[in-house]
Amino acid sequence: MNKKKYIYILAIFFCASIFVTFFAISNSSSLNKHFSEAVNQEEEEYKFRLVGIVCSYVNRFYVEPDRIKPKEMLKESLSWLERIIPEVRVNVDDKTEKIEVLVDEASKVVDFSKIHRLGELYNTLTDVLYFVNDNKHHEIKTEDIEYAAINGMLSQLDPHSVVFPPKDFDEFKIGTSGKFGGLGMVVGLRDGILTVISPIEGTPAFRAGLNSGDKIIAIDEDSTINMSLQEAVNKLRGDPSTAVILIVESKKSQTNKSVTLIREIISIPTVSSKLADNNIGYIKVRNFQEDTSEALEEEIEKLTAESGGLKGIILDLRNNSGGLLGQAIAVADKFLSSGMIVVTVEPMGKQKIQKAKKSSKDLDKCPLVVIIDAGSASGAEIVAGALKDNNRAPLIGDTSFGKGSIQQLIDLINSGAALKLTVGKYLTPNFTDIQSVGIAPDIQLVQSQVTKDEIILFNENPHFREKDLKKHLDEHSKGEVPYEKVRYLVHIDEEEGENEEEGKEDKIKDEDYYKIPDLEKDTHVQFARTIILNSNLYGKDDEFLDKLKPIIEDFKKSEDTKIADALHTQGIDWSTGETVSPPTATTKLQLIPPKGEVKAADELKIDISVTNNSEGTMYQLRGMTESKNLLIDKREFIFGKVEKGETKTASQTIKIPQNSVSRKDELIVKFHEFNKNAPEDIKSAVSIEALPKPVFSYSYQIIDEGEGLTGNGDGIIQRGEVLDLVLFVKNIGKGTSEKNIIALRELSQKEVYIERGKMELGELLPGESKSLKIKLTVRETLEADDFSVDLTIADTTYGTRISGKLEFKVDQNGENGIMTPTEKPLMVMDDSVPIYNGKSSSTPVISYTNAGATLMADKETESWYRVKMPEERFGWISSDKVKISGGVDSAEQKEPDMFLQNVPPLIELDTQNPHDTFRQEHISLSGTVKDDNEIQYVYILVNEDKVFYKSNKDASEEDKSSLSFASDVPLEDGPNVISIVTRDDQDLLSTKSFVVTQLPTEEKDES
């Protein structure tokens, strides 16, 4: 299948992509007395009020009361706290029904044996939250602890019930209303620069001439270099009729221009259309928001006027994730004059039936074909189900997502947050429950691919659906089977694929996320068009699909021929036939490198050969791999026709990603043959060894004297100065960093301007150091006496990173003593003497020097000397730590080395290959973490569960820089992602991860 590359896009007209379904805003405050009293308490101490409020709503409105299990909800709630707070551990003993909650060394035991109702859950959980909040060390906001606890609790109900914190709730409301004050363009980060992806026609951005690829350098004089994408979007949005000034670098001219735009109410385009050949209207409905049905009518009127009379409509609901219930009903009603649209099931089983309403504007007689896929969810499934069950239109495509639940959105009193709670389910007009099974199309179209590198014919269901979500509501019906299934061949331009890497630096594709697909190349659209033109879709009855059979067979035959021809070009005979005597075959699996032991970034070649040892012929022989490692799972090996005595070989070469973690997995090849004469399965194993990774450490320094700078050379920041921020980065890891990024974000003061916010160091070998300079301007208008900016240094291949906050003091008075030029050799009198960035001990230490070292001073004050550093930099040393050294030649002066201010802890394991097993139920894991200063703690995660924690707070001073650990780590069936996490006193994190795959008991017994 096409391997597409996706970029993170945050649209200024953000479209809620959560499978929200449909909701009603509720401001109900009729809580029971117990919870109402909790809300009314007004004390300075933080009260965990929302827990009680949410429990009350769940108790009264949740769709399936039998799923409310307070004990399990408590355990999952505490598990979520364990994940977000390092020092929290939770040990559950189901036999004694007790939970031990540890916060570092503080301990609390919770008896959950008597928790049977949500009120009892509320009391117990609130008590634990106070305990955690009082004893935690981690700087996490109390309200975030409460949100995590509630969402952990709700996750035990279903994957769609959730609490939105205020910020997320604001975004959610924009997605469902479809309107906000803004400029009307999609923006994204390209190479770290805020870039226009596409303006929307008729909006301020479109009228101002902004184009895809233009770079937004500043918003209202604030540089976007230091902004996150979310922050930039927030600045671009605002009240209608307010102005915003953008500095834009044109993609075409590469010049900057100032553009003043007036914000307007922006409507998210929810429906688009295009007139296809033969006067067939194509309509794409992307979601269901407040104006969807109105927009649909407008598009239909436009198509009707353009065509003079539509011969049919293709309604495309692919990747439509849902939205508002009322709008989904209105869209379905547009194509129906009678019949049921949907049945909603409320708590306690109460049903409500929504029926179509006859209207003069109905298109109930216009031929219609509906396209759905695995991304069609919620509202899209309402529409598809209504049109299918009412015999209004055939459905083509793929089985839908399978979300048959309804959520209600409830404002949580005076908090700005909201609860999205599952309060109902819906059934199709035939009373079919599609929860977790989806709506099957009448004609399923299955994509196939044939290239020299990969053949995909039978991996039919790679898509993520509702049934794959944890704790999804159970299905209560079996999924329907499509009337017919047709494989179609997707064209892959192999030459383009080969050249993709070569030209990707210079080729930036303009992306329009609201662009209608190329109708001539879209197989689904072309098949729908064929159905409309060659059949009478009006008056569709139960036998209608039988009448479509000739059209389906012609299409199927055409696509089968295309697939067979494509296979023939690869030397594969895909013909069929009968076998008189059952054939027997010998199979052989060869892995290169031998034993399947491969390193990350290398290639794994899988060769499978089949020899037909009998008189009979094998037809359409194929093999498919099975493995817990998705990289090698569901790989297809196509042999086709294998005649008597013939040996055929199929191969695949798999490029192991450079950032792969160490793991070992079983590999099984299962065979299939047209006449069911398949050879036996063959088994092997693949072991991947991770490459050593780079580890970054860094220092920083302010330079305020030199070309283009306007400082006074004292190493201290004053208002009005133009400075150089120098970053020093060293790779202290064992692996090379080939591609990396340095990003500066979240500048605390807008009166400070940073020239560049994103840079690259280039290749950084183990032990190698590099530096770079960034211009920094401190405006005269700055009133604060300090500012800060967040720094991230990341390797884009391995994902290793180090983050920290660079903090700067500002001398508002400029009175730090008079500097005079000098030229004096100095000798250091003590060991470990610090050299500072400026003539103040409040500035960062940039180096240390020892007794006997000689330095050369070029400036002095009453109590400081400025001394020369490497790369024409300078530092300051206290005059009471040195003496003037006579008779030393300046050529003999040694410039001190740069001090690494921020060095992350390093993790060393005692075992070299702990991943090299899938036969054990646990592994023993031990090692040591080391730091240049002090370790805070180390913990071990298995998947998302914390199984070990050790603090270092009671260590002696000499032992604080290292911490040993040992644990017997339990393994679950399947892949276990094991991560060792440690943090030092500078809040620098380090992680080491690998995967251990545990085979289920029956598989271990068989192997």
Do 467 and 437 contact (CB within 8 A), yes or no?
yes
Residue 881 gets which letter from DSSP?
G
The three-point CA angle 306-311-314 to 5° equals 90
Question: What is the crossing angle of helices 49-61 and 118-135, to 10°?
Answer: 160
DSSP-derived pairing of the beta strands 854-860 and 820-828: antiparallel
Q: Distance between CA atoms of 76 and 688, rounded to whole angstroms?
A: 33
- d(CA 136, CA 149) in angstroms, rounded, equals 15
Query: What is the phi/psi pair of residue 331, to 5°?
Result: -65, -45
User: Which residues fall within 8 angstroms of residue 722, CB to CB, at 6 or more apart?
Assistant: 708, 709, 710, 711, 775, 776, 777, 778
Mark out the alpha helices in 882-991 (DSSP H runs): none
Backbone angles phi, psi at 70, to 5 degrees: -55, -35
Residue 45 one-letter amino acid: E
User: How far, in Å, CA of 519 to CA of 282, rounded?
Assistant: 9
Q: Please state the length of the chain.
A: 1007
Q: Calculate the CA 385 to chain-centre distance.
A: 31
Distances (CA, A) of 863 to 820, 830, 974: 12, 17, 66
CB 370 within 8 A of CB 317: yes
Q: Which string of b and e fits 102-127 if b means at least 16 CB within 10 Å?
A: bbbeeeeebebeebeebbbbbebbbe
Report the largest interatomic distance among the alpha carbons of the chain, rounded to a whole angstrom: 108
One-letter amino acid at 2 equals N
HEC profile of 317-329:
CCCCCCECHHHHH
Which residue in the list 77, 378, 400, 627 is annotated as catalytic? 378
The question of whether 378 is a catalytic residue gets the answer: yes
Report the chain's C-alpha Rg in angstroms: 33
Residue in 334, 388, 403, 664 annotated catalytic: 403
In angstroms, the Cα distances linking 247 to 222, 232, 260, 557, 763 are: 10, 13, 9, 57, 33
> What does 244-303 look like in DSSP terms, one character per residue?
EEEEEE-TTT--EEEEEEE-EEEEP--EEEEEEGGGEEEEEE--B-TTHHHHHHHHHHHH
DSSP-derived 3-state class of residue 38:
helix
Q: Is 94 tagged catalytic? A: no
- CB contact burial 908-922 (16+ within 10 A = b; e otherwise): eeeeeebbbebeeee
In 3D, which of 430, 421, 372, 431 has the Cα closest to residue 401? 372
Are 429 and 381 within 8 A, CB to CB? Answer: no
Going by C-alpha positions, the residue among 249, 310, 250, 246 that lies closest to residue 274 is 310
Asked whether the beta carbons of 173 and 181 are under 8 A apart, the reply is: no
- 411 included as an active-site residue: no
Distance in angstroms (rounded) separating the CA atoms of residues 75 and 93: 11
Could you say which of 333, 389, 442, 665 is catalytic? 389
Do the Cβ atoms of 946 and 940 come closer than 8 Å? yes
The separation between CA 276 and the C-alpha centre of its own chain, rounded to angstroms, equals 36
Pairing state of beta strands 395-397 and 443-450?
parallel
CB 618 within 8 A of CB 624: no
Active site amino acids: 378, 389, 403
